[in-house]
């Protein structure tokens, strides 16, 4: 069962990698209309959509506790729960967590070529052999 959950998790990550979109990881937009963007899965439609937020011409001073408190009060950050809205992500950026820890540049995405997939094998044996005992591997085969 543990192996099945592991494989399902890997399969989910591979399918996200196929789209080359890291979900729920904000990234800086190099020349976009906004400062940041994030890919989110819309629970209503099930589609992945992009949410853009932040003024590219403004420097935020969120390290100042008074400014952070004022921004969060002005934008009702305690009530922002919908990940598909720019307000949610702006408020998240104005939390105490450093922006560099939140942006996608610190995370990796899988580079997977699914054109060579045989339709059955999700991972090579050498990719998972270090995670399981030999008995567990033999039980699966």
Q: What is the separation, in whole angstroms, between the first and last Cα of the chain?
A: 14
Q: Distance between CA 138 and CA 86 in Å, rounded? A: 49
The answer to the question of residue 77 being in a domain is yes
User: Domain span at residue 50?
Assistant: 21-105
The answer to the question of residue 12 being in a domain is no
The answer to the question of residue 38 being in a domain is yes
- Give the per-residue pLDDT at 136: 66
The answer to the question of residue 28 being in a domain is yes
- Give the per-residue pLDDT at 32: 79
The answer to the question of residue 115 being in a domain is no
The answer to the question of residue 3 being in a domain is no
The answer to the question of residue 81 being in a domain is yes
Half-sphere exposure of 2 (CA within 13 A, CB side): 7
- Give the per-residue pLDDT at 96: 72
Segment 60-114, tens digit of pLDDT: 788 888 988 999 999 999 999 999 999 999 998 888 777 667 665 544 444 555 5
Q: What is the mean pLDDT of the chain?
A: 76
Lowest-pLDDT range of 6-15, 18-27, 42-51, 66-75: 6-15
Tell me, rounded to whole angstroms, the distance of Cα 46 from its chain centroid: 16
Q: List the one residue out of 115, 99, 108, 133 whose CA is nearest residue 26.
A: 99
The answer to the question of residue 117 being in a domain is no
Number of domains within the chain = 1
- Give the per-residue pLDDT at 116: 60
Average pLDDT over residues 110-123: 56
Sheet holding 48-53, edge to edge: 27-28, 36-41, 48-53
Close Cβ partners of 67 (under 8 Å, ≥ 6 residues apart): 61
- Give the per-residue pLDDT at 108: 47
Whether this prediction's pTM lies above 0.85 is answered by no
């Amino acid at each position: 069962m543990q192996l099945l959950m592991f494989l399902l998790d890997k399969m989910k990550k591979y399918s996200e990698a196929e789209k080359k979109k890291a979900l729920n990881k904000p990234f800086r937009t190099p020349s976009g209309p906004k400062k940041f963007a994030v890919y989110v899965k819309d629970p209503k439609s099930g589609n992945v959509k992009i949410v853009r937020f932040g003024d590219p011409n403004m420097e935020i001073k969120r390290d100042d506790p008074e400014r952070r408190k004022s921004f969060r009060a002005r934008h009702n950050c305690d009530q922002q729960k919908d990940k598909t809205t720019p307000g949610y992500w702006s408020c998240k950026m104005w939390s105490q967590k450093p922006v560099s820890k939140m942006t996608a540049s610190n995370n990796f995405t899988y580079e997977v070529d699914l054109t060579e997939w045989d339709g059955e094998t999700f991972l090579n044996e050498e990719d998972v052999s270090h995670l399981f005992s030999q008995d567990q591997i033999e039980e699966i085969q």
